[in-house]
Amino acid sequence: MNSINKYLINDESLTGSFSKYAKSYDRYAQLQKSMAERMASLLPVPLPDYVLEIGCGTGLFTKHLLTQPISQLLLNDIAPEMLRILSNSLSLPKNAKIIPGNAERIDFEKTDLICANAVFQWFQNPQETLKKLNHALKNGGGQLIFSTFGPKTLLEFRKTANLMSPAGLHKSETWTKMIHNSGFAIKSCDVEIRKIFFPSTMTLLKNLQQIGAAPIRMIKTGGLRKLMRDYDSRFSTTQGVYTTWELYYFTLIRGN
């Protein structure tokens, strides 16, 4: 892992970034909201008794879980401010339990279903984390449903800025290998390519910043204006500037 990645996705940096912009997250995280809606279509009906959501944030996906009765709901996130907003904005049932901290370092109690929307790209050791989550599922039908981003995500921006991705953007083939090595079987895998438009590169950067994922700190002083000019000139259309996003949706079944 390169030094940029280490700086951006260690616990302290990730927690601070997402907590800082937690209040603005729901307003700007329209893509993550859309991903949550699509991922919700993968949920079993009815839901099993015990459900764990990793990286619940402000509750974009949690809302979908709350549309069905659950005997026990565990909600986890690394950012305390995100969890505070979730607790204040959603009417959580009495059987809901909040577990703060890095999911990669928590030994969760046994559950029937694990969900994670737009979270896995931040894991430093996804292979080991998948194994840990496999062990957290009960025998006999336990499932893991998650969405994450592929390597084409923000490719135009990263090339223009000559930056490595601060997140782990693995190919679907890499995910497939890690999944099988972790003892899971793939029930479904969907790949989606989207082009999302912004009025300008400045608004694109602001959007990334307000969801806690802006790479501005990685850009050298004085280079930001040049970056915006270059991006505007290369990827501008009559509809505004665009960025590509590659989205993966996985439904996994625990192996016997």
Angle between helices 126-136 and 172-181 (to 10 degrees): 50
Please tell me the predicted confidence (pLDDT) of residue 168.
87
Distance CA 229, CA 43 (A): 43
Are 240 and 198 a contacting pair, CB within 8 Å? yes
Distance CA 247, CA 168 (A): 13
Residues of the chain with pLDDT under 50: 1-8, 216
**Which domains are delineated in the chain?**
3-151+166-195+246-254 (3.40.50.150)
Please tell me the predicted confidence (pLDDT) of residue 214.
58
Number of H helices, E strands in the chain: 11, 8
- Closest CA relative to residue 108, chosen from 117, 97, 93: 97
> pTM of this prediction?
0.90
Please tell me the predicted confidence (pLDDT) of residue 1.
30
Q: What are the distances in angstroms from CA 102 to CA 1, 9, 28?
A: 19, 11, 23
Supply the DSSP symbol for 200: S
For the chain, give percent helix, strand, coil, nearest 5.
Answer: 40, 25, 35
Kindly give, in sequence order, each residue whose CB lies less than 8 Å from that of residue 238, ignoring residues fewer than 6 positions away.
Answer: none
